[in-house]
Amino acid sequence: MSAGHGVTHGGGEEHQPVFTGGALGQLEALYPKFPTRQACLLPALWIIQEERGWISPGAMAEVAVLLGLTPAYVRGVVTFYTMYHTHPVGRHFIQVCTTSPCHLCGSDEVVKALLKESGCGELGATSPDGRFTVIEVECLGACGFATPILVDNDFIESTSPERVPGILAGYR
Amino acid sequence: MGYPHPSHPKETVVLSKYFGDAAARTHQGWVERGGYEGLKKALGMSPDAIIEELKASGLRGRGGAGFPTGLKWGFMPKGDGKPHYLCCNADESEPGTFKDREIMRWTPHALIEGCAVACHAIGAETCYVYIRGEFTDPWDVMEKAVAEAYAAGTVGANAMGSGKRIDIVLFRGAGAYICGEETALMNSLEGKRGNPRIKPPFPAAAGLFGMPTTINNVETLAAVPHILNRGAAWYKALCLGNPKSTGTKLFSVCGHVMKPGNFEVTMGYPMKDLIYEMAGGLRPGRTLKAVIPGGSSVPLMNREEAESALCDYEGIIEKGSMLGSAGFIVMDDSADIVYEVYRLAKFYAHESCAQCTQCREGTAWTTKILERILKGQGKQEDLGLLLELSEQMTGKTICVLSDSCAAPIVSGIQKFQSEFDAYLSRAKAPAPAGV
Amino acid sequence: MSADLVNVTIDGVSVSVPKGTTIIEAAKQAGVLVPHYCYHPSLPSPAVCRMCLVEVEKAPKLMPACVTTVAEGQVVKVMSEPALKARESVLEFLLINHPLDCPICDQAGECELQDYVFQEGRAGTRYADYAKRFNPVEDFGPDVLYVPNRCILCTRCVRFMEDVAETPVLNVSERGDRAYIGIDRGQELDHPWSGNVVDLCPVGSLISKDFLHKARAWDLDKTASVCPGCTQGCNIMIDTRDDVVVRLRPRANLDVNRHFICDTGRADYRWMNRGDRIETPLVRDGTRMVPSDWETALPRLAATIKGATGRVVLLASGRASLESLGWVRRLLESRDVTAAIKVPQGPEAPLPGVPNLALRTERVPNLDGAKLAGYSARWKDALAGVEGAALVVLLDADMDDQEVARLVTAETVIGLQSVDDDRVKCAAMLLPVSTMAEENGTYVNRDQRVQRFTEAKAAPGMARPAWWIASQAWSENNPGQGGPLTSAEAFSGLSDFIPALNGLSYGDLGLTGRVLEPAPTASGARHGAAR
């Protein structure tokens, strides 16, 4: 069950194993916490995304082997959850809440400011410098702190169009 | 208290007492504030005695369904020889609701304590705390707190020296509203797509990993140690309205109010006071138009209903909606009901798990109809169609996601039809949806 | 046992069914078909299509019939107003993104979406003016195409691969109305049983490349049969169009193959359509084979058999029916006969989710029937006896060139063959026989289950079932004993010869067969032990 060698998959791209060294240790530490290997899938996918920024087909195949699943099964799970990236994204991934409570408080303006300041131009696109990707997300669960945004793992409350340039400056 | 605001004199502060007090986050700090006394007491009690105490307190699930907690725990089989599990539902994703986030951020040990008590009561050795993936701060705080609790021997192989094993395992979600549905959460924890399961079997019979499982909301579990400490009678007496709704409750108030936040009041507190006094009322010159009180999955209340409602399970039903998770989305007269209903439909369409036909197709179709109305291209028959589709999306599916989509649509049309008519008659300028 | 039965009333019909039965299965007993898509009796039920919603008295809402079990005294209304309304609505939802391309869809005519919409759906759409969801057709594997636009996400295919084939290469990808059936990138749907997803698909979303645009469902004649591919004996339907076999599909038999057949069996039908057939009896006249008729050929066959003195070798096909094997063997009664069938071998391919179901190593359908009729599987030994034999009888034997070359070493060769094989130049007569697709007959599978197959297409020219030819000659040689005139008589008449058949008739077998009791004694067989 070792991650072993590179896995060639799908389009033929060579996949460098994620689960070696520290990442493998992290995953193995999870095993005793669950009665099944399969239950480690979501945490394992998080480890991949932390390591690589996204979850490639090769990584899905790798984790499938480790957890006794099939790549198709893993893909079905990955695509269910919106926080897993199945394509590479900008260095900083920005999620803006635009669900009703935030919309009432002006989230649309925050989105516009983010798209303009980041250079992304449109939702889902990555800025030309590869630095930012901005997406609209459903409720971030901080409706009292409209408009919350999530930059990578940094949860920023009560943003406004005026605060946007300052926030982005911190990631340049 | 209405973090980030100072406590309002009319609040009944129990769960939120230490919101904003960073020192309460540590194990040491929590113990100094009387923490883990409830757990200590619980470990000296029989599981049955704890369950009886909870039944007597009248505590009901704070996640939305309002099911009596003691009764739920009592459903767990006894002496069956199987592993039992506790799941803590910290997948707080209901638009308008942000109370569990604050509990975890400020009083993580309150939750750990509640989880540990519940484990003992239902005969579980492991509690999985399913925290939504977007909650990065609560995750960090909880992670530290759990490590401290293990280090202090409060939980672990010999919890508080009781000889009982209680493990608390944090689990990170990855962006799926539906995982807040209890059986979807279990599937997600098992490494599957977060598809809700058919019931029966109910979780107490076959839940997580096919084993007897109890699943409780963060706020419910956090309330448990207080009940053990201060007694069921004390909790039961916290009641301003219907005697079936007891205790204190965190109400998340957001949208068009001056001071959005979480306010902890006794069950039965008037909604009017909650909005106008505690949450600072509306912006100057604005009047109340509507409130969606249960998170977004319940019918809209108009001004009259909202201002006359008592905040408990029965009081809000009486006024044509439901308490749900008690996240109040407040809209003043500047709000466009058609747009807000559209925005919610879009939310549900995005979050549908794709299993049931009515939900998968219905949420998307209703979103398109609402979008068309907003664009000024609606047809007169669209409202009737929306109502008919909503009826078919209600009570027909495995879980209630499509019901939740239908609730604001139906109530929006029933209570604010003139706003829809304004778009349909082209009296109002089109408001293209989206950014 | 009444304690284990539950009484329910479904659309006014009272039935008693075992405790734990689902409403949908109980309704079948009551003669009521509850419309459904995701439910399949050989798969776990996810209750996701919500098509089988029915009204159950005293229940607060409509219940999915596929997962709701019956309760004593329950009153179920499948055709009540709310249930019909709910199903009409499900159909409307399923159609909003459906391309309505029935005119070019292979499933048309046998499509459950078409059927139920016709039965219970709305006449028109209310989803006008919106673009439909579109995804391109995907090639899933050797024989399967996925047309996502027609997919209703019932997930039968995913569950089959996961729970029955236990090779989960399919998934549901994405969620909400963006969801579709996904396949493992870089992997194909090439499991030996994966073709079943095409049958399981209730709509035209998973389709067979082999059958693509070959025929319209309503032009097909469907005939109950048994797969001639191996000793498993899976029950099949042979679908023909204008007397040409165009596909084989599984036929339900819960004791043998549930609802499935393997891809090898499914693909093995082209031989049934061969054009190079013998169409008239051919009788030797000096150096030539002369076309003849049965009036001439049958007495000559009888005489040849009677006249041959010495060893007889009978080389037969394992695809021949029990009737043919039995009657040809009986024709050679009381002679020194070595009889064998050729049993091609191949790797076994089990379907893990169904106990005792596999594509078997022995790739003939009637190995056990042949043994009952006095044949062995020791083909090579039998072949070795050809040299110097007084008579060699071929019963549709499939032989390679070397094997054919040996025939000249026998005194006399008679061929009862389906294919015009000009290699068999030395035969005294070549008599045209029908194939299993062209006749009624039975096979005995590896579990001693005798199963009927029925005539799916006409035999060419004057070809006749081998049992008919043999029994006619047998009557000729046994005056006063009339031979069978129908396949049913041919079968029931064999009990004299094969005691294990124990007087069974076609009526006893039905269309799902009957397992033979163990033979009473070894000495019971009049033909002696198989060699």
pLDDT tens, position by position, C82-125: 999 999 999 999 999 999 999 999 999 999 999 999 999 999 99
Question: Chain A residue closest to C189 (CA)?
Answer: A72
B93 vs A141: CB contact, 8 Å cut-off?
yes
B73: phi then psi, degrees, rounded to nearest 5 = -65, -35
The dihedral formed by the CA atoms of C277, C283, C286 and C289, expressed in degrees to the nearest 10: -10
From the CA of B325, how many Å to the nearest CA of chain A?
12
**What single DSSP character describes residue C216?**
-
Contacts of C519-525 with CB under 8 Å at 24 or more apart are: C524/C499, C524/C500, C525/C374, C525/C498, C525/C499
**Which of chain B's residues have a Cβ under 8 Å away from the Cβ of A32?**
none
Q: Cα dist. C199→B222, C112, C156, C248, C399 in Å? A: 52, 12, 10, 11, 35
Give the pLDDT confidence of A90-147 residue by residue, as tens digits: 999 999 999 999 999 999 999 999 999 999 999 999 999 999 999 999 999 999 999 9
Mean pLDDT, residues B392-405 taken together: 97
pLDDT exceeds 90 at position C491: yes
SS3 (DSSP) at C207? strand
DSSP structure class, residue C160: I
Give the pLDDT confidence score for residue C187 in this predicted structure: 86
In single-letter form, the type of residue at position C145 comes to: L
Number of Cβ within 10 Å of residue C270's Cβ equals 9
The rounded percent of chain A whose pLDDT value lies above 70 is: 92
Q: Does C61 touch chain A (CB under 8 A)?
A: no
Query: Searching chain C, which residue's CA lies closest to the CA of residue B346?
Result: C176
- Rounded to whole angstroms, the Cα distance separating A138 from B351 reads 9
Count of B-C CB contacts under 8 Å? 84
For the segment A36-93, what is each residue's pLDDT rounded down to a tens digit? 999 999 999 999 999 999 999 999 999 999 999 999 999 999 999 999 999 999 999 9
CB B117, CB B159: distance < 8 Å? no
- Mean per-residue pLDDT of chain C: 94
For residue A7, pLDDT beyond 70: no
> Which residue in A has a C-alpha nearest to residue C162's C-alpha?
A73
Q: Which chain B residues touch C if contact means CB-CB below 8 Å?
A: 176, 193, 198, 349-358, 360-365, 368, 372, 377, 385, 389, 392, 395-398
CB A79 within 8 A of CB A86: yes
Backbone torsions φ then ψ of C487, nearest 5 degrees? -65, -35
How many other CB atoms are there within 10 angstroms of residue C347's CB atom? Answer: 9
Instruction: Note the pLDDT of residue A1.
Output: 33
Touching subunits of C (3+ CB pairs, under 8 Å) are: A, B
Q: Do B354 and C172 touch (CB under 8 A)?
A: yes
d(CA B185, CA B191): 10
Can you give the pLDDT at residue B3? 78
* DSSP assignment string, B29-73: HHHHTTTTHHHHHHHTS-HHHHHHHHHHHT-B-TTTT--BHHHHH
Q: Which residues contact B336 (CB under 8 A, 6 or more apart)?
A: B419, B431
Residue B2: pLDDT band with limits 50, 70, 90: low
- Residue C522: predicted pLDDT: 46
The phi and psi torsions of A137 (rounded to 5 degrees) equal -125, 165
Q: What pLDDT score does B216 carry?
A: 98
The first and second tokens of residue C479, run together, are 């005056």
Q: How far is Cα C501 from Cα C509, in angstroms, rounded to an integer?
A: 11
Tokens of C122: 């709305």
Across the interface, of A104, A140, A141, the residue whose CB is closest to B331 is A104
- Residue C388: burial class (beta carbons within 10 Å; 0-12, 13-18, 19+): exposed
Task: Considering only the beta carbons, identify the residue of A10, A57, A73 that sits closest to C171.
Answer: A73
C412 touches chain A (CB under 8 A): no
List CB contacts (< 8 A) between B135 and chain A: 141, 155
- Whether residue A70 and residue C186 make contact (CB cut-off 8 A), yes or no, is no
- Chain C residues close to A76, C-beta within 8 Å: 171-173, 182
Half-sphere exposure of B116 (CA within 13 A, CB side): 34
Nearest to C420, CA basis, from C457, C470, C463: C463
Residues 6+ apart with CB under 8 A from C56: C23, C62, C63, C68, C74, C75, C76, C77
Residue A11 is predicted with a pLDDT of 47
- Retrieve residue A54's tokens: 């996204």
C104, burial (CB in 10 Å: exposed 0-12, middle 13-18, buried 19+): exposed
Residues paired with residue C5 on neighbouring β-strands, in sequence order? C18
> Distance between CA B325 and CA B323 in Å, rounded?
6
Q: Distance from CA of residue C460 to its chain's centroid? A: 22
Token output for B385: 């169609």
- Mean pLDDT lowest among B146-155, C279-288, C463-472: C279-288
Q: Is the ipTM of this complex over 0.90?
A: yes
pLDDT at A30: 97
B283 pLDDT exceeds 60?
Answer: yes
Task: Return the H-helix or E-strand segment holding A92.
Answer: strand A92-97
pLDDT at residue C526 greater than cutoff 70:
no
Q: What three-state secondary structure class fits B206?
A: coil
Residue C15 to chain B, least CA–CA distance (Å): 24
Chain A CB contacts of B101 under 8 Å are 141-142
CB–CB of A76 and C186 under 8 A? no
The answer to whether residues C117 and C105 touch, using CB atoms and an 8 Å cutoff, is no
**Region C134-146 average pLDDT:** 96
Sign of the Cα torsion B260, B262, B264, B266 reads positive
C-chain residue closest to A73, CA distance: C171
C312-320 average pLDDT score: 97
The arithmetic mean of pLDDT across residues B416-425, rounded, is 96
Give the mean model confidence (pLDDT) for residues B142-168. 97
Q: Which residues of chain C lie closer than 8 angstroms to A69, CB-CB?
A: 168
- Spell out which chain A residues touch chain C, with contact meaning CB-CB distance below 8 angstroms: 9-11, 57, 69-73, 75-76, 79-80
> Are the C-beta atoms of residues B346 and B434 closer than 8 Å to each other?
no
For residue A148, cis peptide bond before it (omega within 30 degrees of 0): no
Q: How far is A142 from chain C (nearest CA, A)?
A: 24
Instruction: Establish if B257 touches chain A: CB-CB under 8 angstroms.
Output: no
Q: How far is CA A9 from CA A52, A57, A75, A88, B194, in A?
A: 17, 7, 13, 17, 26
Chain A interface includes C184 (CB < 8 A) = yes
List the one residue out of A33, A44, A84, A51 whose CA is nearest residue A66.
Answer: A44
B375-398: average pLDDT:
96
Q: Which residues contact C489 (CB under 8 A, 6 or more apart)?
A: none
Compute the nearest-CA separation of B53 from chain A (Å). Answer: 31
**What are residue B36's DSSP bridge partners?**
none
3-state secondary structure of C419: strand
Is A72's CB within 8 Å of C172's CB? no
Q: Residues in chain A, how many?
A: 172
Cα–Cα nearest to C187, from C203, C169, C200 = C169
Q: What value does the mean pLDDT take over residues B384-401?
A: 97
Q: pLDDT by residue (tens digit) across B70-119? A: 999 999 999 999 999 999 999 999 999 999 999 999 999 999 999 999 99
Res. C128: pLDDT tops 90: no
Sorted by sequence, the CB contacts under 8 Å of residue A43 that are 6+ apart come out as: A27, A30, B171, B172
Burial class for C131, CB neighbours closer than 10 Å (0-12, 13-18, 19+): exposed
pLDDT exceeds 60 at position C443:
yes
The answer to whether residue C479 neighbours chain A at the CB level (below 8 Å) is no
CA–CA distances in Å: residue B155 to residues B47, B116, B146, B148, B161: 17, 7, 8, 9, 9
Structural element, H or E, at residue C206: strand C206-208
pLDDT for the residue numbered C519? 56
Coil, strand or helix: which one is B227? Answer: helix
Q: What count of other Cβ atoms lies within 10 Å of the Cβ of residue C354? A: 18
Q: Is the Cα dihedral C273, C274, C278, C279 positive or negative?
A: positive
**pLDDT tens, C209-246?**
999 999 999 999 999 999 999 999 999 999 999 999 99
> Residue C521 above 90 pLDDT?
no
Asked whether the predicted pLDDT for residue A13 surpasses 70, the reply is no
The kind and range of the H/E element at B142 are helix B136-151
Q: Name the band, by pLDDT with cuts 50, 70 and 90, for residue B1.
A: low
Q: Which of B244, B239, B275, B273 is nearest to B257 (CA)?
A: B275
What is the nearest CA distance from A41 to chain B, expressed in angstroms?
Answer: 5
Residue-wise over C452-467: b if at least 16 C-beta within 10 A, else e? bbbbbbebbebbbbbb
- The closest alpha carbon to C203, from C122, C297, C99, C335, belongs to C99
CA nearest neighbour of C202 among C331, C127, C283, C107: C107
Q: What is the pLDDT of residue C2?
A: 57
3-state SS, residue A54: coil
**How far apart, in whole angstroms, are the C-alpha atoms of residue B108 and residue B33?**
13
Across the interface, whether the CB atoms of B83 and A35 are under 8 A apart is answered: yes
User: Which 3 state secondary structure label does DSSP give C271?
Assistant: helix
Predicted confidence band at C186 (pLDDT cuts at 50, 70, 90)?
A: confident
Angle at C298 between CA C296 and CA C304, to 5 degrees: 105
Least confident window among B13-22, B258-267, B289-298, C180-189: C180-189
The residues, any chain, with a CB within 8 Å of residue C387's CB and separated by 6 or more, are C406, C409, C410
Residues above pLDDT 70, as percent of chain B:
99
Question: And the tokens for C2?
Answer: 């009444």
* Closest of C314, C308, C309, C338 to residue C328, by C-alpha: C314
- Per-residue pLDDT of B34-77, as tens digits, reads 999 999 999 999 999 999 999 999 999 999 899 999 999 999 99
CB-based burial label for B233 (10 Å; 0-12, 13-18, 19+):
exposed
